Amino acid sequence: MDIFVVGLSHKTAPVSVREKVAFAPEKLAEALHQLAQSPQLAESLILSTCNRVELYAGGPDCGAGIRALKEFLAHYHHLSVDDLDGHLYVKQGEEAIRHVFRVAASLDSMVVGEPQILGQIKTAYGHAAEQGTVGLILNRFLHKAFSVAKRVRTETNIAGNAVSVSFAAVELARKIFGSIEGKKVLLIGAGEMCELAARHFVNNGINRVLVTNRTFARAEKLAEEFSGQAVLFENFPDHLHQVDIVLSSTGATRFIISPEMVQQALKQRKNRPMFFIDIAVPRDIDPRVNDLNNAYLYDVDDLQGVVNANLKERQREAELAEQIIEHEIGQFQRWMRGLDVVPTIVALRNKVEQLRRAEVDKTLGNLKHLGASERKAIEAMSAALINKILHTPTRVLKQAQQQEDEEAQLCVDALQRLFDLEIAAPEGELKSMDDH
């Protein structure tokens, strides 16, 4: 049994292609049932997000399984395999394990470190478990992926630095004020960037939001979203002294906030600090504001500088995360090898014991004159002989299981062929793997 993945993502396919192969949530159960009908797939799961569509599966024949996944993806969406082939990636074995661990840990995301993908994988796994399309292999695999993602979050700072302009503004405000809980913010403009930054501020403790816009109805609508207050655009300078943070993003062609306005506001505030974020192009705030004591002005280039520095920091943390993943791959592969090793040892011992039992019974049947002690001695001698014969192959097989190469599988294949073993692997007989 092996693990394989077929998929496409923002790295390999434009949105015009991704949207054609996306699975609607309400049709996912039907799609999972269709996928599970393939005789080449023992287990399967569908992950569908705005940035990626991936099919995870387990089966005895990687080649046949991968073909089945490609054909299903194409036929389900009324496409040809040729239409998709140029955008698809295929992973199998160790490469598939590494890929899914990296996806779960957000190392393969458009924004490295974003937390959403782990929840999306958990949801996909939940749907597959509910429909009964995952079994022993994918159950263990996905739970391991979850624990890997948790280790990466816990042991690295991969998600700890702002990598969007709007969130970088929040990070800078924290540095200026120490804490932004209880602070007040004025939004000048009601566009998407202002709204996103305001949402970050509110989520991080801002308790009052003022909104102004040349179109007052738009200001009212945005203020309502944040339980804030709309202010007439021509009156906003009168409210500057009331707020700690000013975020401006309008389409004005000249400065709408002057040093004189800010100096007056600071005087009314008794020189308590003010933080100005100008994300407009052209700029809304006269850069001379930055020359005033207790006034801190950042424009979009300053914020982008913070983002770039944080992206570099995330990349350093991503390198630590890759090391964690490589360690976890080794653990999971040892467990996978154990799926073959343990049942092979059990089957070998059972077969040899059956042969021993048959020969001892035949021999004792011809030696009816022997007493109980002699019969017991023959039983003990034959059992000891078998244990001595099996000791070395059992030890070698267990040692090979711990290696990071193909020795274990070669030993397993050889024993199964030499002794014509029939392998059964009930879940209860398999050793559990340590989760972290």
Q: What angle do CA 168, 223, 268 make, to 5 degrees?
A: 75
Query: Quick check: 228 and 171 in contact, CB under 8 A?
Result: no
pLDDT for 85 equals 92
- 2-9 and 52-59 beta bridge pairing: antiparallel
Fold for 2-161, please state it. Beta Polymerase; domain 2 (3.30.460)
- Rounded to whole angstroms, how far apart are CA atoms 141 and 345? 23
Segments making up each domain of the chain, as ranges: 2-161, 180-303, 329-429
Cβ-proximal residues to 347 (8 Å cutoff; 6+ apart), any chain: 416, 419, 421, 422, 423, 424
pLDDT for 115 equals 76
- 50 labelled catalytic: yes
- Rounded to whole angstroms, how far apart are CA atoms 214 and 333? 61
Q: Please name the amino acid found at residue 2.
A: D
pLDDT for 303 equals 80
Q: What is the pTM of this model?
A: 0.60
Closest among 159, 128, 92, 180 to 317, alpha carbons compared? 159
Q: Which residue bears the tokens 């804030």? A: 228
Cβ-proximal residues to 71 (8 Å cutoff; 6+ apart), any chain: 81
Give the architecture (CATH level 2) of 180-303.
3-Layer(aba) Sandwich (3.40)
Q: What angle do CA 180, 181, 187 make, to 5 degrees?
A: 60
Could you tell me how far CA 92 lies from the centroid of its own chain? 18
pLDDT tens by residue, the chain, 436 residues? 789 999 999 899 988 899 899 998 899 999 999 999 999 999 999 999 888 999 999 998 999 999 999 999 999 999 999 989 999 999 999 999 999 999 999 888 876 777 788 999 999 999 999 999 999 889 999 999 999 999 998 898 777 665 566 677 887 888 888 888 889 999 998 777 778 778 888 888 888 999 999 999 999 999 998 899 999 999 999 999 999 999 998 888 899 999 999 999 999 999 999 999 998 878 899 999 999 999 999 988 888 777 777 777 777 888 889 999 999 998 888 777 666 677 778 888 888 888 999 999 999 999 988 889 999 999 899 989 998 988 888 887 777 666 655 566 677 778 878 888 876 544 433 333 334 3
Cis amide linkage into residue 282, ω under 30° from 0: yes
pLDDT for 279 equals 84
